[in-house]
A = this chain, B = another copy of it.
């Protein structure tokens, strides 16, 4: 037999550990729809018995599900199915210090896309109260954005409010979660230096548009407002 024929006739062997298999089984069990959020699943010992493995293995598989946020465990009560908290999960594994540079840059890009793309949700859901809040936030800013881009806290406050207005919790928490990433990206020299700052749409300008303009206008204004960031990525 040639080497090729050998490699053909030898299919890859399943190297998954016992825990892997048990984890899979458990997830299948959960998905099988007989279980709804809040239901408690069989006890560790029952599962161990049922699956013919030790409690150790079952526990390790359950630990994984717990880490993924699929279940929660309580003493005496056992494990109950929960709806997973995506953002919470990401948050737990998002350590800029140990992420590779490229992923960091891509996350940075994703934020820009989101801020522009959520214009419709902002315009649809903004309330008069929100407008007031925004005005209060930008009260002390100059009418034209320039070096102000560097005042991080102000940035966070303003854009955070926008996410809030979007009425989308996932988005909002996404932003919260990505803040450390932005901070890190800025400080790490990952991007090129901030280019000569031209005059762009300011926070005030954005508020004005949110109050009186359209989603389309807001998208364009936001794109312009973020020009500095785009410039650092492109070029």
Contacts and interface: CB of A to CB of B under 8 A. Distances in A.
Interface stretch (A95-103, A126-134, A150-158, A197-205): A95-103
A110 interface: yes
Contacts of A171: 106, 109-110, 113
B170 A110 contact: yes
A165 B194 CA distance: 26
Contacts of A107: 86, 170
Contacts of A86: 90, 93-94, 103, 107
Task: Give the contact-size bracket for chain A.
Answer: 35 or more
A70 B97 CA distance: 12
A233 to B, nearest CB: 9
Nearest to A220: B216
Q: Please give the count of copies of this chain that the complex contains.
A: 2
Contacts of A110: 114, 168, 170-171, 174
Interface of A: 27, 30-31, 33, 35-37, 59-60, 63-64, 67-70, 81, 83-84, 86, 89-90, 92-95, 97-100, 102-103, 106-107, 109-110, 112-121, 124, 168-171, 174, 215-216, 219-220, 223, 230, 234
15 contacts: A35-B98, A36-B98, A63-B63, A69-B93, A81-B98, A84-B94, A84-B98, A86-B90, A89-B89, A103-B169, A103-B170, A106-B170, A110-B114, A110-B174, A114-B114
